Structure 1
């Protein structure tokens, strides 16, 4: 047995695994997808098992799987430090765990930070998913979990902290700070396409030039006379995003995309790839979505947005979601068109992104006769 490994849980304290269907020792989880016990193994059946495992991993995004893996690693480590076994699931133990997340007990001289209600609920979702992969079920309605979580919500719930919206005048100032080398052309196209399409940062970097160019593609782009048609694989299935041409080449997202594709000579594979440090050559591998967040923060500083705040506070106000919130707040069109562009299932979700919406356009007080 490896040092630091718990004999019962099969989980080490070295960190989260890359594959949530494996434990941290690198072994396949004992209750993961496998051949039925009554069947004899064969080459064909073993290949089917591998295929089924690949499909199981594709049921959630890579970022979600990584988060769930970290959730399980943290819970297993917490259990081990208290001489408890994470398997099978114990509602009483999980109730104590989420209580410790909300009001952590000091560990020696150090007191861990308390998690928000949203983070605790995400941890519970991660534990539920991990238990399912190991052949168990987690009953979140059990009183030992539900009552503790209800108390945490009552005492610690806060309104969500929203990121600042990047409005039209902001995005124009941001792209104006970018150079005109390959890196600048790429970053300009990413910002403008992300803003005009209301795209998530993961959706921006997942785009390919054509359908089926790569196996890790999240969508592709068709450039037409009137604009660009982006086909995306979203959380609820495939959707199309239409990005029309702008009134000026300096701020037109489609023109910026065409310039990048032309000078970078990209006609196959990932649309947004890395560039050499000198900004003169394009590499083949796809950018990470964290690049979008870093790009937004650096351009916010360069453009001088929110000059009333120190730099450290300014960059905290903006993230990848600032592009989506900016489109929702800037587009003076019927709300249903914004909802469709952002891929929201409800108008209520779209309204959360609208930072400067006319909240009293419909006055029910006057309509009721007062």
Structure 2
């Protein structure tokens, strides 16, 4: 049996090899460079750097992180199997997908959607390295089709936050600076049907910061948010509510006024005592934590154990809440959420008027 010292050396060796693989992958991933026959210059070098920045910005930051993690996992898997991830081998990728769906080790099996996302991550990473991965190759396509046929399940949807829920949640917040900020986050996120990344990426004005994901314009009748979202630029109109206590625009105005914010990120961190607004933009993780915390405090679904209650709600609960609660033509909800199809919008509707059109009776039965 190996001694603790031997195990430690083995673990350190594995970590070192992983780091070396990551470093090689990083070098290989910097694919945008000057042709070998072109001499470098200050201007051309700056253009190369700018081109790399644009290439990185072609996908969302969270997507980049996920794809990087996908490649790291696959590269380590290849090393453990005694092979190399480059060039792409459809046969090995088929085996990799099989191991994700029915792992031979202690790792849990992944869902079909996660496996599909991993494959997309590998295809993207290969493209950045100058290779083409044919997802229709029989070694990949047939294995993936079999995994979907055997393991596919209906998607697990997060619970929608309904009107009575959001009111109960904001009622748990204090009226200090931090409470004003969190109240505006919940109400704006709910009324706008926003993703959590969209909430925290907004600036007060256009082009206030390099990492801006959009800006706001407050008018007499409401607020217009111009957002650079997953599906491109879109405008979101948020009208004023019936009372100041529930009005998202009023909550936003209160936060900006008392936090003295007129430039830069809309939602920022506060000092430890909650009395001063800082310059640092909030992380989208704050939105998820805020939702879970206020759900617990407000007693929503109190009949369930705390762990189950927390698992029911996430940032998507705000978008699902708007889609499920707005009693208007579906087209308006689709536009607000920024969906390309009505079918996608219906996936967010947790309580819609089912059987409004009874085709059975319409067919004469």
* Alignment TM-score > 0.5, same fold: yes
Cα distance between partner residues in 2 of 1:15 and 1:340 = 47
**2:344 maps to 1:339:** no
Counterpart residue number, 2:52: 53
CA shift in 2, pair 1:165/1:278, >3 Å: same
CA shift in 2, pair 1:12/1:283, >3 Å: farther
Counterpart residue number, 1:67: 66
Whether contact under 8 Å (2:195, 2:315) holds in the other structure is yes
**2:12 maps to 1:13:** no
Shift of 1:40: 1.5
SS in structure 2 of the partner of residue 39 of structure 1: coil
**2:152 maps to 1:147:** no
**2:260 maps to 1:265:** yes
Cα distance between partner residues in 1 of 2:189 and 2:20 = 33
Shift of 1:42: 1.6
User: CA offsets per residue over residues 18-69 of structure 1, 9 Å max, x none?
Assistant: xxxxx43585326611111221222211111111111100100100000000
Whether contact under 8 Å (1:15, 1:73) holds in the other structure is no
**2:309 maps to 1:304:** no
SS in structure 2 of the partner of residue 29 of structure 1: helix
Whether contact under 8 Å (2:187, 2:246) holds in the other structure is yes
Q: Which runs of 4+ in 1 moved over 6 A?
A: none
Counterpart residue number, 2:97: 98
Counterpart residue number, 2:166: 171
**2:188 maps to 1:193:** yes
Whether contact under 8 Å (1:293, 1:320) holds in the other structure is yes
Cα distance between partner residues in 2 of 1:350 and 1:12 = 46
Counterpart residue number, 1:206: 201
SS in structure 2 of the partner of residue 243 of structure 1: strand
Whether contact under 8 Å (2:29, 2:128) holds in the other structure is no
SS in structure 1 of the partner of residue 27 of structure 2: coil
Shift of 1:342: 0.3
**2:225 maps to 1:230:** yes
1:106-145 correspondence to structure 2 within 5 Å: 106=105, 111-145=106-140
Cα distance between partner residues in 2 of 1:74 and 1:88 = 16
SS in structure 2 of the partner of residue 85 of structure 1: coil
SS in structure 1 of the partner of residue 266 of structure 2: coil
- Number of residue equivalences: 354
Shift of 1:365: 1.7
1:250-329 correspondence to structure 2 within 5 Å: 250-329=245-324
Cα distance between partner residues in 2 of 1:4 and 1:150 = 37
Cα distance between partner residues in 1 of 2:124 and 2:54 = 15
SS in structure 1 of the partner of residue 224 of structure 2: strand
Shift of 1:236: 2.1
Alpha-carbon RMSD across the aligned residues, in angstroms, is: 1.7
Cα distance between partner residues in 1 of 2:273 and 2:280 = 17
Q: Which runs of 5+ in 1 are unaligned?
A: 17-22
Whether contact under 8 Å (1:182, 1:280) holds in the other structure is yes
Whether contact under 8 Å (1:88, 1:136) holds in the other structure is yes
Cα distance between partner residues in 1 of 2:202 and 2:112 = 33
Whether contact under 8 Å (1:15, 1:70) holds in the other structure is no
User: CA offsets per residue over residues 101-144 of structure 1, 9 Å max, x none?
Assistant: 000002xxxx1100000000000000000000100010110000
Q: Which runs of 5+ in 2 are unaligned?
A: 1-11
Whether contact under 8 Å (1:192, 1:253) holds in the other structure is yes
Whether contact under 8 Å (1:12, 1:25) holds in the other structure is no
Cα distance between partner residues in 1 of 2:286 and 2:29 = 37
Counterpart residue number, 1:363: 358
